Chains A and B, each alone.
Chain A
Amino acid sequence: MTEIQSVQIITLTIDGKPVGASGGETILDVAKQNQVFIPTLCHLEGLIPYGACRLCLVEIKGNNKLVPACITKVAEGMEVITNNERLQRFRRWILELLFTERNHVCSVCVANGFCELQSLAEVLGMDHVRLPYLHPKFVVDATHDRFVSDNNRCILCGRCVRVCSDIEGAHTLDIMGRGIKARIVSDLDDDWGNSPTCTRCSKCVQVCPTGAIKEKGRRSVGEKFKHRDVIAHLAEMREAAREED
Chain B
Amino acid sequence: MVTLDHLSDIRRKVSEAEEQRNHRIHVCVAAGCIAAGSRKLLRAFQEEITSRGLNDSCLVKGVGCIGPCAGSPAVAIEPEGIVYCSVKPEDVPEIMDSLAKQPVARLQMSRDLPFFTRQKKIVLENSGRIDPEQIDDYIAAKGYHALYKVISTMSPAEVISEVIKSGLRGRGGAGYPTGLKWTTVAKTGQQQKYVVCNADEGDPGAFMDRSVLESDPHRVLEGMAIAGYAVGANKGYIYIRAEYPLAYERLRKAIKQAEEYTFLGQSIMGTTYGFHVELRLGAGAYVCGEETALIASIEGGRGTPRPRPPYPAERGLFGKSTLINNVETYANISSIIRNGGDWFASIGTQNSKGTKVFALAGNVKNVGLIEVPMGETLREIIYEIGGGMEGQNKLKAVQTGGPTGGCIPESELDTPVDYESLASLGSIMGSGGMVVIDDSVSIVDIARYFMEFSVSESCGKCVPCRVGTTQMHELHAKINRGEGTKRDLELLEELCEVVKHTSLCGLGQSAPNPVLSTLRFFRSEYEAQLTDHEVLAAEGVAK
Q: Do A and B touch directly, given a CB cutoff of 8 Å in the complex? A: yes
- Which of A68, A131, A132, A134 is B307 in contact with, Cβ under 8 Å? A68
CB atoms of B464 and A54 under 8 A apart = yes
A209 on interface, CB distance cutoff 8 Å: no
Known contacts A66-B501, A66-B502: A71-B307 contact under CB 8 Å: yes
Count of chain A residues near B, Cβ 8 A: 34
B474 on interface, CB distance cutoff 8 Å: yes
CB atoms of B464 and A175 under 8 A apart = no
- Which of A54, A94, A180 is B460 in contact with, Cβ under 8 Å? A180
CB atoms of A134 and B467 under 8 A apart = yes
Interface residues of B in 449-505 (CB under 8 A from A): 455-464, 466-471, 474-475, 491, 494-495, 498, 501-504
Count of chain B residues near A, Cβ 8 A: 33
Smallest CB separation, A124 vs chain B (Å): 14
- Which of B309, B502, B537 is A57 in contact with, Cβ under 8 Å? B502
Known contacts A68-B307, A132-B474, A179-B457: A98-B467 contact under CB 8 Å: yes
Interface residues of A in 162-215 (CB under 8 A from B): 174-175, 177-182
Q: What A residues does B495 contact at CB under 8 A?
A: 93, 131
CB atoms of B502 and A52 under 8 A apart = no
CB atoms of A180 and B466 under 8 A apart = yes
- Which of B302, B456, B459, B463 is A54 in contact with, Cβ under 8 Å? B463
CB atoms of B467 and A182 under 8 A apart = no
Q: What A residues does B471 contact at CB under 8 A?
A: 97, 100, 131-132, 134
Known contacts A52-B504, A182-B460: A94-B498 contact under CB 8 Å: yes
Interface residues of A in 130-156 (CB under 8 A from B): 130-132, 134, 155-156
- Which of B307, B458, B502 is A178 in contact with, Cβ under 8 Å? B458
Q: What A residues does B458 contact at CB under 8 A?
A: 178-180
Which residue of A has the minimal Cβ distance to B460? Answer: A182
Considering the chains assembled together, what is the distance between the CA atoms of A101 and B462 in angstroms? 13
A37 on interface, CB distance cutoff 8 Å: no
CB atoms of A180 and B504 under 8 A apart = no
- Which of A71, A90, A174 is B498 in contact with, Cβ under 8 Å? A90
27 A-B pairs with CB atoms under 8 Å apart are: A51-B504, A52-B463, A53-B462, A57-B502, A66-B501, A67-B307, A71-B307, A89-B498, A90-B498, A90-B501, A93-B494, A93-B495, A94-B463, A94-B498, A98-B467, A130-B491, A131-B471, A131-B495, A132-B471, A156-B460, A158-B461, A175-B460, A178-B458, A179-B455, A179-B458, A180-B467, A181-B460
| A residues neighboring B (CB under 8 Å) | 51-54, 57, 65-68, 71-72, 89-90, 93-94, 97-98, 100-101, 130-132, 134, 155-156, 158, 174-175, 177-182
4 other A-B residue contacts (CB within 8 Å) besides A54-B463, A97-B467: A52-B462, A54-B462, A66-B501, A180-B466
